[in-house]
């Protein structure tokens, strides 16, 4: 799966990083980014949990 964070919708709550730290990272601007756009199979379950947990729907699958 491929994933990205729409920064305009991110509020920097940190949930995605807490759930999938190998994929999401809060940057210096306080907002999340996907460190990898092409998510390894082993991380997909966590990424799906992060997508569901994001309060603003900022994480989108591509």
Task: Name residues whose C-beta falls within 8 Å of residue 7's C-beta, 6 or more positions apart in sequence.
Answer: 29, 31, 32, 33, 58
Find where tokens 């995605």 sit. 16
Q: Which is nearer to ligand SF4, 21 or 55 (CB)?
A: 55
Span 24-43, contacts to ligand SF4 by CB under 6 A: 24, 32
Q: Give yes or no for residue 21 binding ligand SF4 (CB under 6 A).
A: no
Size of the site for ligand SF4 (CB under 6 A): 15
According to DSSP, the residues that pair with 34 across neighbouring strands are 24
Q: Give yes or no for residue 51 binding ligand SF4 (CB under 6 A).
A: no
């Amino acid at each position: 799966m491929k994933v990205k964070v729409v920064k305009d919708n991110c509020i920097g709550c940190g949930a995605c990083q807490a759930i999938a730290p190998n994929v999401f990272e809060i940057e210096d601007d306080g907002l999340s980014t996907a460190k990898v756009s092409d998510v390894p199979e082993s991380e997909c379950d966590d990424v799906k949990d992060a997508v569901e947990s994001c309060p603003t729907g900022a994480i989108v699958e591509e």
